[in-house]
Structure formats: structure tokens, C-alpha cells
Amino acid sequence: MREILKKELLHKGYQRKEIAESIGTTSSTITKFLDGTQEVSIDTVLQFIRYVMPQNEKRMMIYFCLEAEKPANLSAAMEYCSTNRLMKTLAKLIDKAKESSNIELKQLAALYETLLRWQHGIYNFDIQEELIALRKLKTDSEECKVFSKLLEVCMYYYKTQYTVVKDLTNELINDLDQLKRTYLQKSYKARLNEIMSYVFLKLNNLKLAREYARKVIKAKIGTAFNAFAYFVIGSSYMFSEYDKTLHYLEKSHKLYSKYSPHNADDILNKIEFTNAYWNVHNINYTNELILHYYKKKNNHHDIPQLEVPTNDSFQLFLIGSINADRTLLIKTFTNFIHKNDIFNATLVKEELAQLDENSYLLEQMLLV
């Protein structure tokens, strides 16, 4: 890998001093890295690769992450692989860290192992049991303390307990500022900002949702983070600005298409719904429910009465809208409120208002 990087330097005519000044290091550090005579920080390696061969970042970083020996580098390598969804490499790094004589590194590896198990099998993961284990953790490592709290935030976020998430986040912000390792601090902040962008989207605070999402993009942590941030920004404009919604959702779809077909399909459905909501004509609607929703909005008469075979709240909203079913829409509205999803509850409220439902009562429920 080092020889490939050296050839690329020659091919592009880069000067080591020029690169060093740009990425905040010294030309001697770059030389030691390229010659393999010194293990430099993962952050420096990452910045160097992004400058010289950004198109091969992940392939290069997998190699250099697995090469890491210093505890600080192993910690950063685990975080890089976790945020970039390099799960197989992360598993190898966790095993390597667990064999270390460094107690703090072992503890951090155990936390990443918890996160990895959660990502692999969320439905067989006992969140409450893991929360109890996290609170029992005793460590002198600031990184472990912060990452443990961050995992708590992730779990409460998944449980849609957004008040707890915001309280823990306020505590974490101060702790993050105390971290000495720049890469971990930057990456942990991006994780937290990603969570808060979605929390504020669901709480219908769209301005804050966009602010947090833009912080995620600015951090340049990984493709998955950027894809999600663009999704949040696009969604935040869903009911106010069609062009911006489409612009950001298409950016999100482009990124997700590179590594997550499932998420890419979800974004395509969001784009279709956006077109239907804004009554965009001459669109080939592939989602049957969204097609019927579009037809209903445009007073078509060839729309069947749909059965309700789903528990998915958004699908229930579409069926309730298509059937003009007040009871189903109120049930959907209540489901969204129960999940603290004020964003989608507001959409249902608007639909109910068109059916002359008591908007004052619904508004009061949104405020509770």
C-alpha cells in the first residue's frame, strides 16, 4: 500500500511539504509513514489518504487500521471502522485490542463489541440489559466513559425516549470537549450530532434538525453519516420546499446506493411520497400505496378501498388517507404521538383537518 501511495505522489507531482502543511503535520512524519519506520496517528494517515487517493480511502484505511499497534491508534482504528461500517475489519481490531495488556483499550474494545453485536442483531439485543451493564462500567479512561455514555444515548434514541436523549447529550457535550484525542472527539461529536439531527426532526424542530445534520456533513466522518444527514435535511423541507427536499433526498440516495440497497430503496420511497405530496405529474410511481395516495389527492375515481394488513404507522397513514378513514387516521396520529414522532403526527393532523376533524384537540395532543 505504501508503494502505491508513493507512486501516486510521483504521478500527481505532490510535494510532501505541501501535503504536510495542508493536513497539519510535518514532511518528516509523512516520510516516516511512507517508509514504514514509524507508526503515525490514524488521523494523520486518514488525512494523507484523503489528500492523495481519496477514491481508494476505505481500501487503504482497512490495511493501515489492521496495522495499528499503539493503543491510541487501535482506538481510532476501531472508531473509523465502526463509523464507516467496516464490520469485518472492526471485529478483527476488537479481537486484537482484547489481547492487549492495556486495560483501558480492552474496556474500549468491549464497548465496540457491544455496539457490533447490536448492529448485527438488533432484534435479539436486550437493550435494557445492556443499559444496566453500561451504567455498572467502572473505568478511569475518559474515552471509555464518553463512549459508554454515547452508547446509552444511542439506546435511548432507539427506544424513542428523546427527553432522556437530550438530557444525556447535554452531559456528554462537556465530556467530549475534555477528550484529548482529536479524532475520537471529532467522530464522537459527529455520532451525537447525527442522533440529535433525527431527534429534532421527529420533534418537528426543523431548524435545529438541519443545523445538527450540517455539523455531521462538515465533520467528514464517513459516507453513511453524510447519507443520513442529507436524508434529515431533505425530510426537514418535505412540507415546505419541494426543490430542496428533492435535492437533498437525491444526494442521500446516491450515497446509500453505494453500500446500502435497503436504505437506498427507503429513500426512493421518500422521493416518491414527496412527488405525490406536491402533486407532481408525469411520475412513474412504483409504490402502489403512494400511487393510490397521489390519485386520491387528484380526485381519481379508480381507487379501491384498501384493507389494513400492516402495523407500519406511515403505511397506515397512507391507507387512512386513501380511504378517507377518520378512525384509522386518528389511530395513526396516536401511534406517532406515542413514538414522540411529532413530525409525522403533524402530517396526519393536516390530513384529518381536511376531513373536518377537530384540529384544536389534535393540536393540544401535539403539545403534550
Question: pLDDT digit string (tens) for 243-282?
Answer: 999 999 999 999 999 888 999 999 999 999 999 999 998 8
Say whether pLDDT at 236 is over 60: yes
The model's pLDDT over 10-36, given as tens digits with 9 standing for 90+, comes to: 888 888 899 999 999 999 999 999 999
Give the lowest-confidence range in 4-18, 67-81, 241-255, 349-363: 349-363
> pLDDT (tens digit, 9 = 90+) per residue, 153-201?
999 999 899 989 999 999 898 899 888 888 999 999 999 999 999 999 9
Query: What integer pLDDT is reported at residue 222 of this predicted model?
Result: 86
C-alpha cell at 64: 493501515
Residue 70 forms part of a structural domain: no
Number of folded domains that form the chain: 1
Res 45: pLDDT:
94
Which candidate, 12, 63, 70, 61, places its Cα nearest to that of 40? 70
Please report, as a single letter, which amino acid is at residue 2. Answer: R
Residue 241 belongs to a domain: no
Q: Give the Cα-Cα-Cα angle 321, 325, 331 (nearest 5 degrees).
A: 90
Does residue 124 lie in a domain region? Answer: no
- Is position 72 within any domain? no
Sorting pLDDT into bands at 50, 70 and 90, what band is 299? confident
Residue with cell 451493564: 133
> Taking 80 as the threshold, does the pLDDT of residue 37 lie above it?
yes
Q: Quote the pLDDT of residue 305.
A: 73
Please, are residues 365 and 355 in contact by the beta-carbon 8 Å criterion?
no
Confidence tier at 207 by pLDDT (50, 70, 90): very high
Provide the pLDDT for residue 359.
63
Closest CA to 58 of 224, 182, 205, 215: 224
Look up residue 166 and give its three cell numbers.
437530550
Q: What burial letters (b/e) apply to 23-40, b meaning 16+ CB within 10 Å? A: bebeeebbeebbeeeebb
- Tell me how far apart the terminal alpha carbons of the chain are, to the nearest angstrom: 57
Q: How far is the C-alpha of 332 from the C-alpha of 345, rounded, in Å?
A: 8
Residue 235 lies in a domain: no
pLDDT at 182: 87
Question: Does 3 map to a domain?
Answer: no
pLDDT of 365 reads 63
Calculate what percentage of the chain has a pLDDT beyond 90: 68
Using 50, 70 and 90 to split pLDDT, how confident is the model at 237? very high
**Cell numbers at 238, concatenated:** 418535505
Identify the band that residue 368 occupies on the pLDDT scale cut at 50, 70 and 90.
Answer: low
Structure confidence at residue 311 (pLDDT): 78
Least confident segment among 171-185, 199-213, 216-230: 171-185
pLDDT at 291: 92
State pTM to two decimals.
0.89
Closest CA to 215 of 202, 200, 204: 200
Average pLDDT for residues 334-346, to the nearest whole number? 93
Kindly report, residue by residue over 125-144, the tens digit of the pLDDT: 788 888 888 888 888 889 99
* Residues whose CB falls within 8 Å of the CB of residue 352, separated by 6 or more in sequence, listed in order: 326, 329, 330, 333, 359, 362
CA 223 to chain centre: 9
- Assess if residue 306 is contained within a domain: yes
> Is residue 148 within 8 Å of residue 178, measured between CB atoms?
no
Look at residue 292 and tell me whether its pLDDT is greater than 80. Answer: yes
Residue 224 covered by a domain: no
In which domain, by residue range, is 335 found?
284-368
C-alpha cell at 171: 452531559
pLDDT category of residue 308 using cuts at 50, 70 and 90:
low
Q: What is the average pLDDT value for the chain, to the nearest integer? A: 90
The residue with greater pLDDT, 37 or 365, is 37
What was the pLDDT predicted at 356?
A: 73
